[in-house]
Structure 1
Amino acid sequence: MKSNDTSIELIIFDCDGVLVDSEVLCKRVLISMLANISVNVSDNYFDTYFLGQSYESAQKQILADFKVSLPDTFRDDYLEELLKVFNHELTTTPQLESILPRIKTKNCIATSSSPDRVKFALNTTGLLPFFEGRVTTSSEVKNGKPAPDIFLLAAHKMGVKPEHCLVIEDSEAGIRGALAANMQVVKYTGASHLVDKMQPINDSLDHVPTFSHWEKLFSLYPQIA
């Protein structure tokens, strides 16, 4: 599938599942912690309702589906457990580090993660120097993905009009948010939570280009190098 021909002045990376291979770790920790309070969710449930979305969104979904209000301490406890796992197991997505220096287009991050979590993830994987000072989190906007707010704020910070932004996302929520922001978007499927899994985009999003190896990004968008 061919990419959009509109000029690209800014690349907006999602973090979890795009820059860092974290979603399988998040899933493992969260499913385990939810089971401890008798909220039993499947892998598919996680992918459908939690992937790419904020903690607040997950919290509301659990309340709606299980009639369980997460304890006040749950968010901090989850972050503490997750960062322990990140410290030992978190890596970048395959071949990312070899292509980042070749990207000449201005770039930044827009993530549903909290500021502490994304900073820890970037620092642990050695990516912080590359993106420091150019990270927008869901804590800065009223509405998280799939609303367009976080993408519009990231573009505003970088001084680029939405139509000249390319968003790289792995989740349907993120893709919908980018499209709602009137931005170009491409789906990355090379992280371990999507490799060898059938993850069809919703029929209404089947026009979105998809790639699974970072080198392919330059084939889709040669103007960024």
Structure 2
Amino acid sequence: MSQVRLVIFDCDGVLIDSEVISARILIDDLARHDVAIDAGYVAQHFLGRSFPTVRDHIRTAFGVKLPRGFEDSYRTRLIDTFQTDLRPMPHIHAALGALELPYHLATSSSPPRLARSLDITGLADLFSGRTSTASEVARGKPAPDLFLHVAARYAIPPQHCLVIEDSIAGIMAAQAAGMPVWRFTGGSHLSQLTNGPDRTGGAALSFDSFADFPARLAGLTPPAQTKDRAR
């Protein structure tokens, strides 16, 4: 594995334990439009993907065109629930504070949702000026566009960017970008994964706690890296 010069984090299911909440609200809202799915379906088809991708899938798979206003209503309910239920992943604040190299956030979430999520979980200051969303590129995950966009911003070759993802779509996007990727499996939505291929999802490594994350990077980072090289 090449030396790591930039760490790119996904947000939902990696930095914040949000995927179970998002799935619950989406399942409930879709049921009102005669679309019956469960958490397993959400994990298989929607995890790591943008809302336009979810909307298009619903139309293709179920023949249902979601009404105008569905997305806004869903996002409003979601943020209201986040306000009381959303938590950061354990140890993530300390892990970020201990990193000795640049890091960035790349997510399929909308900018307003991302901003509220980071604010609620106390991560906003740690990611000030360090976020990118799928709205900035032509294609969302599993296409590599977002990760390549971030690498270009820092002028760091893809092979020196380590991606931290939870979703298969995100892992595929990192691999398509030519970036090494580790899978974080500590979110509530992945708690039932067992050891083996299902756990790694094709990533080079899987881990379920940020407690020892800086130590895992030891030996993979070049000397004299600083956190403030964002461009």
Comparing 167-176 with 195-204, greater Cα deviation is found at 195-204
- Find the aligned partners of 1:174 and 1:20 in 2 and give their Cα distance: 16
Specify the SS of the correspondent of 1:64. Answer: helix
- The residue that corresponds to 1:188 in the other structure is 184
Amino acid corresponding to residue 108 of structure 2 in structure 1: S
Amino acid corresponding to residue 214 of structure 2 in structure 1: F
- Contact 1:110–1:137 under 8 Å retained in 2: yes
Q: 1:134 to 1:196 in 2, by over 3 A?
A: same
- Find the aligned partners of 1:121 and 1:208 in 2 and give their Cα distance: 28
Shift of 1:201: 4.5
Shift of 1:160: 1.4
Q: Deviations over 1:141-175 (max 9, x none)?
A: 11100000000011111221111100000000000
Listed as ranges, the gaps of 5+ residues in structure 1 are none
Correspondence for 1:150 among 132, 146, 168: 146
- Find the aligned partners of 2:185 and 2:146 in 1 and give their Cα distance: 21
Correspondence for 1:159 among 144, 147, 155: 155
Amino acid corresponding to residue 212 of structure 1 in structure 2: D
Q: Deviations over 1:49-92 (max 9, x none)?
A: 11000111111111111000111101111110000001111110
- Find the aligned partners of 2:157 and 2:78 in 1 and give their Cα distance: 35
Amino acid corresponding to residue 172 of structure 1 in structure 2: I
Correspondence for 2:83 among 56, 80, 87: 87
Shift of 1:192: 0.9
- Contact 2:182–2:203 under 8 Å retained in 1: no
Question: What RMSD, in angstroms, separates the aligned Cα atoms of the two structures?
Answer: 1.9
Shift of 1:213: 1.1
Shift of 1:29: 0.4
- Find the aligned partners of 2:42 and 2:201 in 1 and give their Cα distance: 20
Q: Deviations over 1:113-144 (max 9, x none)?
A: 00000010001111010011111101111110
Shift of 1:205: 5.2
Amino acid corresponding to residue 106 of structure 2 in structure 1: A
- Contact 2:118–2:124 under 8 Å retained in 1: yes
Specify the SS of the correspondent of 1:108. Answer: strand
Shift of 1:215: 2.8
Listed as ranges, the gaps of 5+ residues in structure 2 are 226-231
Specify the SS of the correspondent of 1:193. Answer: helix
Please report the TM-score for the alignment, with normalisation by the length of structure 2. Answer: 0.90
- The residue that corresponds to 2:124 in the other structure is 128
- Contact 1:169–1:185 under 8 Å retained in 2: yes
- Find the aligned partners of 2:149 and 2:172 in 1 and give their Cα distance: 16
Amino acid corresponding to residue 45 of structure 1 in structure 2: Y
Please report the TM-score for the alignment, with normalisation by the length of structure 1. Answer: 0.93
- Find the aligned partners of 2:195 and 2:25 in 1 and give their Cα distance: 22
How many residues align? The count is: 221
